[in-house]
Each structure stands twice: as structure tokens, then as C-alpha cells.
Structure 1
Amino acid sequence: MGRSTAPVTRVVVLIACHNRRESTVRCLRSLIGQGGPEVSVSVVLTDDGSTDGTARAAREVWPGIRVLQGNGRLFWAKAMALAASAAGDYDYLLWLNDDVLLDPGALSQLLETHRSLSRSEAGDSIAVGALRDPRTGAVTYSGMHRRSCLRPVSFTKVAPAGRPVQAETMNGNLVLIPRSVVKRVGEIDADFSHGLADFDYGLRAGYLGCAIWIVPGTLGTCPRNPTEGDWTDPALSLRKRLRLMCAPKGLPPASWLRFTRRHAGPMWPVWFVSPYVRLFATGGLDRVRRGFGCRAG
């Protein structure tokens, strides 16, 4: 009699990068050995116009990696959508940010949590890995909830627990998505520029009956992006903040319009204009304060 063998679970890891060679290399190294012998892991990397040798270094760390080249203007959403289009056959997609360092066994925990939820008849679901700051240990990325029904596009982080915890959507740093969900929801919306595409995907999945579950504990490290020097930094001039806000990594109007029309309900025009109005209002107050400060001096 021949020995029966368990089917191999095929996981395709999707990564987007731009000029972060060292981070990308560390991320790929933390992926080595993940999943165990019954899991086949392959990687599709969109290198969005890097000039620091990221693609070459990635091939050295992960032989067989598929590298797609961007022009430097894809940013996260379009780069991840491009990677997903080249995934081929798979059982799961794993979204992985290039600045994530996975803990040993992280992929196994994601897979086992998803399988456990499937056995409990929880329906189609997405498994999210929460991440922590490498210095402080504080949770940096996880699942997300709306703050309230009155604030439909304002979100707060959901802390992981000792059991799976449900959320409404998620940060896209470490996310396991089964093929069944992709068939229902589709891929990342490449019409977003950079951010919001992960929140949008989770919300769309929820509308279609796919639950978002946070895996117990944290599964790796990923520092938060610094706010100093971005459009929310009050130390910058109003003109510079507005320019950064409208840039691809800020809150570009086209992406925010797309997001609010989909997810903010009938009051979406109010939610669309509110961050821009608030920026002008706070910028004007800052000017007044500085003016009074100069007179007092």
C-alpha cells in the first residue's frame, strides 16, 4: 500500500518595495523556513523603480523569487495589485510589508488560525497578523474598527488577544487571504495610490460576508511610519502640508474621494471635504498664534 500524503498548501507572498534593500532583505530572511514541510511558499516582489540594488539582493536571498519591475510611480496599492496579478495558482495570498520581521512560526499561526475558523463554520475569512514595535513592544499594526457609526471613515486599532478577535478591516502589513475570499472580493483596488487600499479591501470583504480575524498575539515586528515631516506635522508650513497631503503617500483627493464614496454612506461629501477643511483651519490658527507670538516678543 502506498503511503498517503497530506496535500501541500500553496502560499504566494506578495511584497512591494522601493529603495529599501536592507529592510527587504531582512524581511525575506525572516520568511525562510516559515510554514513547515507541508507548505509551499513562493514570493512575488514588485520592485517599484528601486535604484539601490533591491531586486538583485532579493534574488540572492530568495532564489526563485519573481521580481516585477515598476517605474517608481506605482506606490503600494498598484504595486501589490501588480504582484497579485502574477501570483498564479495558490491556496492563500500573504500580503507582507517589506519592513516586517516575522517571528518564527508566524505563517503557521496564520494558517492554523484560518483553518480553525473554517472548521468552526465561520465562513470565508481573512487572518490578520498584528505587529509590534521592535523597541517598545507596543502594537503598531493590526485589525481596525470604525470609531462609531457616526464616524464611518475614522478607525481605531484593535488589540490582539489570547484568542482570535474580529475586526472590521485591517492594516495590510501582514494579511493571509484564502483563494475563496479573492474569488468573492477580487484583488486590491489599484485605483488607490498608496494607503487606503488595505482598509478598502477589508471593508469590501466584510460587505460580502467575509470576516476579518486577528490572530492571537503578535507575529512579528514593524515600526510605525514616523509622522514627523508628513502632512500631519504641525511644525510644517500650511503650503508644505497641503503639498504633502495631496501627494501619493498623503491623502490624495482622488483616492480619498473613492474611499469616502464607497464607505462613508450618504454623508460622504462631508467626510470627503473634512480633512482638507480641517487642515486649512488648523493652518490658519497656527498662523494667528505665530503672529501673536511675534507681537508679544
Structure 2
Amino acid sequence: MRKLYIILPVHNRKSITQEFVRLLKVQTYSNYHLILIDDGSGDGTEEMVRSHIPSLTVIKGKGDWFWGGSIYQGIKYIKLNHSDLADGVLIANDDIIFDHEFLEKGAKALFSKGGNIIVASCYSQQTGRLLGSGVHADWRNLTFIASNEPDKINCATTNALFVTVRDLLQIGDIHPKLIPHYLSDFEFTMRACKKGLKLVPEPSLTVFVNETTTRNITGRVSGLFDYFNIRSPEYIVSWTFFILMLCPARYKYLNLCRIWYQVLTAARRKADRFL
């Protein structure tokens, strides 16, 4: 049984993290090592997790790592401490619900399909509807649509991704200074595809996502403040670097104009209220 490292970023969601830990403790696959990246929680999250899983590794931040920086710290730990490149890694959000065979099914799919990133099928905890396994990014229209079709999936969220240590190191680091929070997962998985890895949905691997704690990357009207808030899906700095790093050249200028036009439009609306 190969080792499975679990990279789990947390921040002040003790009750949500506690449910994740409860589900982890009853897994049929026991050879895992939890890497808890606690980015400055002040609600006792670390102590709660330690009381249930004493053998974990805790990496502590000060609240300014966000998602990208937290995953960066987890990857850094695995680089320095892994024992076998053939071992596996699960990158997960703490607000997912899964069954007692989740790790076993994920490990089986991962270790039997070399050169792939295994993606779980995500369902809504609130409605039960299928949200998708991966995402199809359409650069021409700058849209990101959930998809279950393997041929269309070219990026994914990190609700639950399985990857081998070898492939994780091949993909390379997250870029938390350029894309600190939202879009980090899309950048990471798109870069993986560019390096020849495939995002493979595994039908038997299902998670239920809490839609009240997980925000969509697109589809809502934003105020001006959202474009300059690191925690916002519309954070303009992340969008700018995301496009510069990954967008095909023929759409790059168009998409940069699109996102900055939205910012200028929001600024104009804000200014009109004071005139």
C-alpha cells in the first residue's frame, strides 16, 4: 500500500474541518499522512485536528498565505520529505464530504493510470445536483464552464485532486505572489495539461461540496472593491497574471482589455454616485 500525502489548507473553519477529519478517520485506506496548512487560525483548528490525528504534520502561517501560499507550503514539504516518487498526493478543500472508501478509490485510480491527475465528481451538498468533474476554459470568450467530458476538461478546481509525487514535482510550484487565492487551482491544472498530464474524471470518486462556503469563479456582478480584494474571485491582479501566463497569444490582448474594462466600468459607476 503506497503512501498518500494529503495537503489540506485551513483557516478559521473549525467545525467544517472537524467534519473532514471525522470522515478521514474512518477511511479504509490507512496509509496516509495529513499535512495541515493552518494559515493563522485563531479558533483552535490545529488543536482539534491534533486531538484526532496525532501523527499529522502542521505547517503554520500568519493568515497571509491564502490558498495559493498554503498549497505552495504543502508542495514544499513534500519536495523535502517524500520517500518515493511513486507515492500519491491528495490536494483537497476541507468543506467536502466523502464516503469511507474515498481514499481507496482515489488511490486505486491514481496508481493504475500513470501520467494522469484524477479528478473527483463534485455534487452540491445543498441540492444534490452534479456540479461537474472538471472545467472547460474557453479563452476566446473567457468563460469557465463545469464539464464531465474528459475531452473538454482542461482545468479543474482543487476540491479533490489526486496526483503522484513524481507528477506533482514535474508540474512545479504554485505562484502565490502572482495568484494568491482564486485562479491558483486553474493555473496549476492548466500548467499540468501543458506538461502532458491529463485531467481524468473518475466516476466512482464523488465528493459533496458546500456551495455556501465555496464561491464560483465567474457569473456575478462585482463592486469596485471586489477587484482589489485578494480573497475575491474577481481580484484583478490574479486575473492579469493568469491571462499573461496561460492565455494563447491571439486572445491575450483581448482578454486583458475585457477584465480591465470591467474594472473601469465599476469605477465609473462608483464615481457616478458621487456626482
* TM-score, normalised with respect to structure 1: 0.79
Pairing 1:171-186 to 2, within 5 Å after superposition:
171-186=157-172
Instruction: Kindly indicate whether residue 263 of structure 2 is the aligned counterpart of residue 270 of structure 1.
Output: no
Pairing 1:1-297 to 2, within 5 Å after superposition:
8-36=1-29, 40-87=31-78, 88-89=81-82, 91-118=87-114, 124-140=115-131, 142-147=133-138, 150-151=140-141, 153-159=142-148, 167-191=153-177, 192-217=179-204, 219-225=206-212, 234=221, 241-250=223-232, 251-266=234-249, 267-281=251-265
Give the % identical residues.
21
Task: Tell me, yes or no, if the aligned pair for 2:20 and 2:96 is still in contact at 8 Å.
Answer: yes
Q: Distance in 2 between matches of 1:278 and 1:257?
A: 12
* Distance change in 2, residues 1:50/1:285 (3 Å): closer
- Structure 1 residue ranges, 4+ long, deviating more than 6 angstroms after superposition: 285-288
1:126 alignment partner, SS class: strand
- Name which of structure 1's ranges 25-34 and 138-147 shifts more when overlaid on structure 2: 138-147
Q: Which letter maps to 1:274?
A: R
- Name which of structure 1's ranges 194-203 and 180-189 shifts more when overlaid on structure 2: 180-189
* TM-score, normalised with respect to structure 2: 0.85
Shift of 1:213: 0.5
The alignment yields a C-alpha RMSD, in angstroms, of 2.8
2:3 alignment partner, SS class: strand
Q: Distance in 2 between matches of 1:84 and 1:141?
A: 26
The number of aligned residues is: 264
Q: Distance in 2 between matches of 1:188 and 1:54?
A: 24
Shift of 1:140: 3.4
Shift of 1:79: 0.9
Structure number with larger C-alpha Rg = 1
* Distance change in 2, residues 1:286/1:258 (3 Å): closer
Q: Distance in 2 between matches of 1:190 and 1:201?
A: 11
Task: Tell me, yes or no, if the aligned pair for 1:231 and 1:242 is still in contact at 8 Å.
Answer: no
Residues 68-117 of structure 1: CA deviation (Å, up to 9, x unaligned): 11111110010111122123215111101011122221122222222343
Q: Which letter maps to 1:205?
A: A
Q: Which letter maps to 1:71?
A: K
Q: Which runs of 5+ in 1 are unaligned?
A: 1-7, 119-123, 291-297
Q: Which runs of 5+ in 2 are unaligned?
A: none
Task: Tell me, yes or no, if the aligned pair for 1:140 and 1:223 is still in contact at 8 Å.
Answer: no
Q: Distance in 2 between matches of 1:102 and 1:184?
A: 28
